[in-house]
Amino acid sequence: MNPLLDRLHAYPFEKLRALMAGVRPNPSMSPISLGIGEPRHPAPALVREALVGHLDGLSHYPATAGTLELRRACADWAGRRYGVALDPASQVLPVNGSREALFALAQVVVDATRHAATVVCPNPFYQIYEGAALLAGAACHFAPVDAQRNFAVDWDAVPEAVWQNTQLLYVCSPGNPTGAVMPLPEWERLFALSDRHGFVIASDECYSEIWFGDSAPLGGLEAALRLGRRDFRRLVMLTSLSKRSNVPGLRSGFVAGDADLLRAFLQYRTYHGSAMGPAVQAASIAAWADEAHVVENRRLYREKFARVLPILQPVLDVQRPDAGFYLWAATPGDDVEFARGLLENYNCTVLPGSLLAREQDGRNPGRNRIRLALVAGVDECVDAAERIAAHTRSL
């Protein structure tokens, strides 16, 4: 067996099941889960129709690079969204969801034979970053978030000695679980560090289409272009249809950026067997080409935040995030005990924040916080918020 497997931590939802073992949820209330970030809005009809209409593609082996039509659809969307001009043949690659690509990219980028190979990621963080780093043979260093800046990552807290050994940096904007969006000066700081130390930046942007203000969140490629970095050197953006189009089961997204990196990534994926099925490619083309369903999706999330926050804010320290569909709320005491009591008394599941972070310098930045995924319908989210408020008042 690969000895690196022993370095992996249990996934947060496995930990959650173990922590909730023995808890008997209140049977007088219907269960509500805000624990998993799985979109539950209906999948767009145009995606369903394209998927069913191209089932003849099941008779053919797909190319790992995907069809040129799909790569063009991805490049066209990036052009409309971020104002970037991508070469579909060399700067775009379809992937089976951003999770798969985030993991695989580390296997391509990390050279474990180099001294103290390191991957840097935010803390708290999407757990795939850590697993990808460990199985690539690297160490993982965690940059803490700053609660005083709406949970922006404090990159200055990473020692210079760590940056010197860094080969890959994961950024997530809008962030999971905090919803923080990186502004241009933050990108400029990271690009300067990448130039100095030669590491690759993987920009995880799967929540980019759920936002609340008048302008969309800044993306990594867009930031690079504004700063004159037109070749996107050492930068790869990863995005997905799961949250944007409510199709997590489609497993479809794409990566874009540095053509040299994508060439190596395509070579890896060819051997890894990561080709996207033709029917999924057709459905993806339909999704990337349409914005009407995305606007409606965003409206529903805005309504949920507008309805839920007035219920929670009188009893919990919680603010609307910059973007995304999570609330990152402080708890009056231990986050795990809060979640256990909420499930037992109100049959409502949330994810303890300490499960999404690692202790560093004696501190777990997720401790005494919970992540609430507002993925259910509006009425169910309101019901859950009322239960959470009642539980908090009872403590």
**Residue-level pLDDT at 148:** 86
Domain boundary, last residue among 290, 311, 329: 290
Please check whether residues 235 and 274 belong to one and the same domain. Answer: yes
Please check whether residues 117 and 253 belong to one and the same domain. Answer: yes
Domain boundary, last residue among 290, 322, 357: 290
Number of domains the chain is built from: 2
Question: Residues 146, 157: contact at Cβ < 8 Å?
Answer: no
Please check whether residues 298 and 191 belong to one and the same domain. Answer: no
Residue 65 backbone phi and psi in degrees, to 5: -75, -10
Q: Which contiguous run of DSSP H or E holds residue 258?
A: none
Please check whether residues 27 and 134 belong to one and the same domain. Answer: no
Residue 387 backbone phi and psi in degrees, to 5: -70, -40
State whether the Cα torsion 306-242-326-26 is positive or negative. positive
Please check whether residues 298 and 284 belong to one and the same domain. Answer: no
* Residue 391, C-beta contacts closer than 8 angstroms, at least 6 positions apart: 338, 341, 342, 345, 346, 348
Cβ neighbours around 318 below 10 Å, total: 19
**Residue-level pLDDT at 303:** 98
Please check whether residues 27 and 164 belong to one and the same domain. Answer: no
Q: Which domain holds residue 9?
A: 3-42+293-394
Please check whether residues 23 and 125 belong to one and the same domain. Answer: no
Please check whether residues 358 and 378 belong to one and the same domain. Answer: yes
Please check whether residues 199 and 341 belong to one and the same domain. Answer: no
Which of 105, 54, 42 is closest to 284 using CA atoms? Answer: 54
Three-state SS sequence of 75-96:
HHHHHHHHCCCCCCCCCEEEEC
Please check whether residues 65 and 127 belong to one and the same domain. Answer: yes
Domain boundary, last residue among 270, 290, 310: 290
**Residue-level pLDDT at 150:** 82
**Residue-level pLDDT at 149:** 85
* Cα–Cα distance measured from residue 244 to residue 267, given in angstroms and rounded to the nearest whole number: 28
Please check whether residues 243 and 146 belong to one and the same domain. Answer: yes
* Cα–Cα distance measured from residue 139 to residue 242, given in angstroms and rounded to the nearest whole number: 29
The CATH number linked to 167 is: 3.40.640.10
Please check whether residues 231 and 303 belong to one and the same domain. Answer: no
| Tens-digit pLDDT string for the chain (395 aa) | 999 999 998 898 898 898 889 899 999 999 999 999 999 999 999 999 999 999 998 898 999 999 999 999 999 999 999 999 999 999 999 999 999 999 999 999 999 999 999 999 999 999 999 999 999 999 999 999 998 888 999 999 999 999 999 999 999 999 999 999 999 999 999 999 999 999 999 999 999 999 998 899 999 999 999 999 999 999 999 999 999 999 999 999 999 999 999 999 999 999 998 999 999 999 999 999 999 999 999 999 999 999 999 999 999 999 999 999 999 999 999 999 999 999 999 999 999 999 999 998 888 999 999 999 999 999 999 999 999 999 999 99
Question: Residues 326, 312: contact at Cβ < 8 Å?
Answer: no
**Residue-level pLDDT at 32:** 97
Task: Tell me which residue has tokens 């489609």.
Answer: 250
The CATH number linked to 304 is: 3.90.1150.10
Three-state SS sequence of 326-390:
EEEEECCCCHHHHHHHHHHHHCEECEEHHHHCCCECCECCCCCEEEEECCCCHHHHHHHHHHHHH
**Residue-level pLDDT at 361:** 82
pTM: 0.96
